[in-house]
């Protein structure tokens, strides 16, 4: 009697387990219709949203993606309503970037859809989203007082360490293996991303100065030894005239080095660093591609080398952390950093994801006791954190 009873119990357990797994599999494979609202002219917003979509897809989701530009609000709402009519799909509406905050708030709420706004920072208009949008995704360092405002709202906050981006490990490895013959052979490399001029929270310009660039060059010359130096700049490097604070229209468009990059190279030469020990990826509009950064990062990753990343570039810091081995990323303080940049660097330092080369290029800080932080956000990119919340 007990034997038959045990057999029946086992069969019942197997049947229940089988049904529960069917239900789980069905819920996991429900198609996700993702409708994006962004400024098509802002590359950073595009990279941010692409990173989330990539992370979403890695979870095994069946995705349908549509995108709409600022100014296409009518078409955007029409697409949302059409998606909501399909009861077999989950509709997720993602808006991204500073410019979409106010117009997106005017389009909300959208009943039946999961709505979220992604941004690198809190803007003066973010309060308009409260109570209307389901989720607001922001990096931890930018939240501050805004988190208190969220406490009395049904809007939920998704906090990330760093920001979402679309730099992927597989792509930098593929680029490296296809193009490493373009890089001079060396056992180890030292990478450096040159800083760029950056806005302050009140929209003033903070410069990466020539003096600071030369100071960085002297520091690098003192530690380079037999490593090959890989240098990359960007569109913000030498962007503004230091006297007038107006944009230098020729910078990165005339095929030449901008004045900050040239000052950096001149100082390396003064410090007896041979040109043969240097490779420069000089950014030029319409010529340079993301593969330049992919090749540099792929080289650093493949050779277990080190890269110096400027503290004012929130995106570059996040990208390098997420695609390189732990311990590879050293963030350096520079004159273009504002208080928001400093707050971001401190969160990365606290999470044990970087070392920090402090002002003056004399001392490096790192978090020694970071066991708790390493078990949480530091193992996940910002894009993965956002996608995990939205997938439920």
Higher pLDDT, 22 or 287: 287
> Is the pLDDT confidence value at 315 over 60?
yes
State the alpha helices, DSSP H only, in 29-145: 43-58, 73-85, 101-107, 140-143
Using 50, 70 and 90 to split pLDDT, how confident is the model at 228? very high
Domain boundaries, the chain: 31-160, 169-376
Least confident interval from 129-138, 141-150, 291-300: 141-150
CA nearest to 227, candidates 194, 267, 183, 269: 183
In tens, the pLDDT along 333-382 reads 999 999 989 999 999 999 899 999 999 999 999 876 554 444 334 468 89
Rounded Cα distance between 57 and 92, Å, is 14
Rounded Cα distance between 194 and 233, Å, is 5
**What is the percentage of the chain residues whose pLDDT exceeds 70?**
89
Q: Residue 67 in contact with residue 38, Cβ under 8 Å?
A: yes
- Which pLDDT score is estimated for 18? 41
C-alpha torsion sign, points 39, 40, 44, 48: positive
Q: Could you give the count of Cα atoms lying within 13 Å of 313 in the half-sphere of its Cβ?
A: 27
CA nearest to 312, candidates 288, 345, 280, 284: 345
Using 50, 70 and 90 to split pLDDT, how confident is the model at 15? very low
Domain 31-160 coded CATH 3.40.50? yes
> Is the pLDDT confidence value at 14 over 60?
no
Cα torsion 305, 308, 311, 314 to 10°: value is: -50
Using 50, 70 and 90 to split pLDDT, how confident is the model at 392? confident
Q: Which residues, other chains included, contact 240 with Cβ-Cβ below 8 Å and sequence gap of 6+? A: 197, 205, 207, 246, 247, 248
Question: Which position has the token pair 């988190």?
Answer: 147
- Which pLDDT score is estimated for 30? 74
- Which pLDDT score is estimated for 34? 94
Average pLDDT, the chain: 89
Concatenated DSSP letters of 217-234: HHHHHHH-TTPEEEEE--
C-alpha torsion sign, points 212, 142, 290, 173: positive
**Phi and psi torsions of 226, nearest 5°:** -100, 10
Same fold, 31-160 and 169-376: yes
Rounded Cα distance between 253 and 154, Å, is 47
- Which pLDDT score is estimated for 32? 86
- Which pLDDT score is estimated for 29? 60
Q: Which CATH class is domain 169-376?
A: alpha beta
Q: What mean pLDDT is predicted for residues 15-23?
A: 40
- Give pTM, 2 decimals: 0.84
- How distant, in Å, are the alpha carbons of 183, 190, 204, 218, 272 from that of 186? 9, 10, 42, 21, 19
Count the Cβ atoms, other than its own, within 10 Å of residue 89: 16
- Which pLDDT score is estimated for 108? 97
CA nearest to 210, candidates 117, 327, 24, 336: 336
> Is the pLDDT confidence value at 116 over 80?
yes
Rounded Cα distance between 135 and 384, Å, is 15
Higher pLDDT, 275 or 199: 275
- Which pLDDT score is estimated for 22? 38
Q: Determine the distance from the C-alpha atom of residue 137 to the mean position of all C-alpha atoms in its chain, rounded to a whole number.
A: 13
> Is the pLDDT confidence value at 24 over 60?
no
Rounded Cα distance between 346 and 348, Å, is 5
Count the Cβ atoms, other than its own, within 10 Å of residue 201: 13
> Is the pLDDT confidence value at 16 over 60?
no
């Amino acid at each position: 009697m007990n034997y038959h009873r045990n057999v029946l119990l086992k069969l019942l357990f197997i049947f229940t387990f089988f049904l529960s797994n069917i239900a789980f599999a069905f819920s996991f494979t429900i198609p996700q219709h993702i409708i994006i609202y962004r400024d098509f002219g802002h590359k950073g917003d595009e990279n941010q949203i692409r990173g989330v979509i990539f992370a979403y897809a890695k979870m095994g989701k069946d995705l349908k993606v549509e995108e709409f530009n600022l100014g296409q609000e009518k078409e955007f709402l029409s697409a949302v309503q059409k998606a909501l009519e399909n009861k077999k799909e989950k509709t997720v509406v993602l808006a991204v970037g500073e410019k979409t905050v106010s117009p997106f708030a005017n389009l909300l709420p959208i009943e039946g859809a999961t709505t979220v706004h992604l941004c690198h920072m809190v803007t003066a208009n973010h309060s308009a989203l409260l109570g209307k949008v389901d989720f607001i995704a922001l990096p931890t360092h930018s939240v501050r007082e805004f988190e208190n405002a969220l406490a009395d709202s049904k809007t939920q906050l998704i906090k990330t360490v760093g920001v979402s981006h679309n730099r992927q490990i597989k792509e930098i490895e593929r680029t490296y293996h296809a193009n490493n013959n373009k890089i001079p052979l060396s056992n180890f490399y030292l990478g450096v991303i040159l800083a760029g001029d950056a806005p302050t929270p009140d929209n003033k310009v903070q410069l990466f100065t020539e003096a600071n660039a030369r100071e960085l060059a002297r520091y690098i010359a003192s530690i380079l030894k037999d490593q090959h130096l890989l240098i990359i700049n960007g569109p913000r490097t030498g962007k503004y005239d230091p006297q007038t604070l107006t944009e230098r229209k020729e910078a990165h468009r005339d095929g030449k080095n901008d004045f900050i990059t040239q000052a950096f190279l001149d100082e390396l030469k003064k410090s007896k660093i041979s040109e043969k020990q240097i490779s420069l990826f000089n950014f030029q509009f319409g010529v340079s591609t993301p593969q330049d950064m992919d090749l540099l990062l792929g080289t650093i990753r493949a050779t277990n080398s080190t890269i110096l990343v400027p503290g004012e570039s929130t995106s570059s810091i996040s990208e390098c952390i997420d695609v390189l081995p732990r311990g590879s990323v050293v963030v350096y303080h520079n004159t273009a950093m504002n208080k928001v940049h400093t707050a971001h660097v401190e969160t990365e330092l606290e999470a044990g994801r970087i070392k920090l080369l402090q002002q003056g290029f004399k001392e490096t800080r790192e978090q020694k006791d970071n066991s708790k932080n390493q078990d949480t956000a530091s193992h996940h990119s910002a894009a993965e954190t956002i996608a995990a919340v939205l997938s439920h």
